[in-house]
């Protein structure tokens, strides 16, 4: 293997890791958008809350990292549930206003966190073996990044199971296809939306638990993920498979472009490609909803 092919293989592996991060970040957003059509601008802040939950659990209760992940899911899921019940549910037929209201929520969450925890960076501790580097014949990747890819697969499988193998999943899909008809079969669409929103928020919490260990924890850390997550969802079209394919494509392309040019320009190129793609396929790769709009 000569140098350039090693570099290329390395960038493919890095791309896979970026894809994993994008997918984990976009997962919660995808199911909330795909089911209820809500663009949740506070998604990045749900990720941030997940990271702070882990930080708080470790610092104040000394709970080990792996146990913190499910707790982050529950805590952020509960916050999401409360926000849905008190605000989002009144705005389902006003999509632009939902977007704005959730932006307001994100402002409040950032400031609230800043008032409680301060603006200085926090750190999440991870077990020793996760922070090492794996090297195989010139290829290298952090173990934690492999762990994120692994978690992406686990979460995808989990969501797939919920959507396609449980009663709740049938209800979600029924409401997604047609809210009125689902209601006429006795499905409480309000309840389905609440729990879907909570599920999406919980998944963002898990993402936060992972990203908090990947980077530093800050009240504004969510902004860094949310635009990429949105682009993934928009490109994917709102379906689970769409987001998976989109994050894989975006991650790999970004990594390859970065090899050719530099990482900033790579992001820019990706963005231009997405705009061009949407010109020809505005509904995204796989459209989630049965309706045209």
Partner 1 sequence: MIQNPYHNKTLQWLFYLVVFALLGAVPLISDDAFLLNQLAIYGVYGMLAVSISLCWGSGGILNMGQGIAFGLGAYCMAMTMQMQTQAEGTIPPFMLNNGLDALPWIWQPFQDTTTGIILALLIPTAFYLIFGGVMFTARVSGPFFAIMTLATLSAFATIFVDLQPYTNGVNGISPPGSLNLGETEIDPYSSGAYWFVFALLVACTVAAKLINQSRFGLIVRALKDDPERVRFLGYNVAIYETLVYALSGLIAAIAGCCFAVLTQYVSPAQFEVGFSISIVIWVALGGRNSLIWAMFGAFTVQGAQSYVGDQFLSTWILILGFSFILVVRFLPGGFAGLVETILGRAAKPEMGADTANLEFSDAKEVAK
Residues that bind partner 1 (CB under 8 A): 39, 87, 90-91, 94-101, 103-105, 107-108, 111-112, 114-115, 223, 227, 230-231, 234, 262, 264-265, 267-268, 271, 274-276, 278-280, 282
Tell me how far, at minimum, the Cβ of 272 lies from partner 1, in Å: 8
Tell me how far, at minimum, the Cβ of 137 lies from partner 1, in Å: 33
Any residues with CB less than 8 A from the CB of 15 and at least 6 apart, and which?
251, 252, 253, 254, 255, 256
Tell me how far, at minimum, the Cβ of 70 lies from partner 1, in Å: 29
Nearer to partner 1, 87 or 130 (CB): 87
Nearer to partner 1, 16 or 41 (CB): 41
Long-range contacts made by residues 11-14, C-beta under 8 angstroms, separation at least 24? 11/255, 11/256, 11/258, 11/259, 12/252, 12/255, 12/256, 13/139, 13/141, 14/141, 14/255
b or e along 166-200 (b: 16 or more beta carbons within 10 Å of the residue's beta carbon)? eeeeebbbbbbeebeebeeeebebeebbbbbbbbb
Give the pair of three-digit tokens for residue 89: 């549910």
Given phi > 0 = left and psi -120 to 50 = alpha, else beta, which region is 122?
beta
Nearer to partner 1, 112 or 121 (CB): 112
Tell me how far, at minimum, the Cβ of 213 lies from partner 1, in Å: 24
Nearer to partner 1, 115 or 260 (CB): 115
Tell me how far, at minimum, the Cβ of 3 lies from partner 1, in Å: 26
Nearer to partner 1, 57 or 233 (CB): 233
Nearer to partner 1, 49 or 68 (CB): 49
Tell me how far, at minimum, the Cβ of 151 lies from partner 1, in Å: 26
Give me the torsion for CA of 58, 61, 64, 66, rounded to 10°. -80
């Amino acid at each position: 293997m000569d140098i350039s092919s090693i570099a290329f293989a390395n960038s493919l592996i890095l791309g896979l890791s970026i894809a994993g991060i994008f997918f984990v970040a976009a997962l919660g957003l995808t199911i909330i958008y795909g089911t209820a059509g809500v663009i949740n601008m506070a998604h990045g802040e749900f990720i941030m809350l997940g990271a702070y939950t882990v930080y708080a659990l470790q610092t104040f209760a000394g709970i080990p990292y792996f146990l913190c992940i499910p707790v982050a899911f529950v805590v952020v899921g509960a916050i999401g549930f409360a926000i849905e019940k008190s605000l989002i549910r009144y705005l389902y037929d006003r999509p632009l206003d939902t977007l704005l209201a959730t932006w307001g929520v994100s402002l409040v969450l950032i400031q609230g966190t800043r008032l409680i925890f301060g603006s200085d960076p926090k750190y999440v501790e991870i077990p020793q073996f996760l922070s090492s580097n794996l090297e195989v014949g010139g290829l290298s990747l952090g173990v934690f990044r492999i762990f994120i890819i692994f978690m992406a697969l686990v979460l995808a499988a989990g969501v797939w199971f919920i959507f396609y193998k449980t009663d709740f999943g049938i209800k979600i899909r029924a409401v997604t296809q047609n809210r009125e008809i689902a209601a006429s079969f006795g499905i409480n669409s309000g309840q389905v939306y609440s729990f879907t929103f909570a599920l999406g928020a919980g998944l963002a919490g898990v993402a936060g638990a992972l990203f908090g260990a990947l980077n530093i924890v800050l009240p504004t850390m969510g902004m860094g993920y949310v635009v990429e997550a949105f682009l993934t969802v928009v490109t994917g079209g709102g379906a689970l498979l769409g987001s998976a394919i989109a994050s894989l494509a975006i991650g790999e392309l970004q990594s390859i472009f970065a090899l050719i040019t530099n990482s900033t320009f790579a992001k820019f190129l990706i963005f231009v490609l997405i705009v061009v793609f949407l010109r020809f396929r505005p509904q995204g790769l796989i459209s989630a909803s049965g309706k045209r709009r």
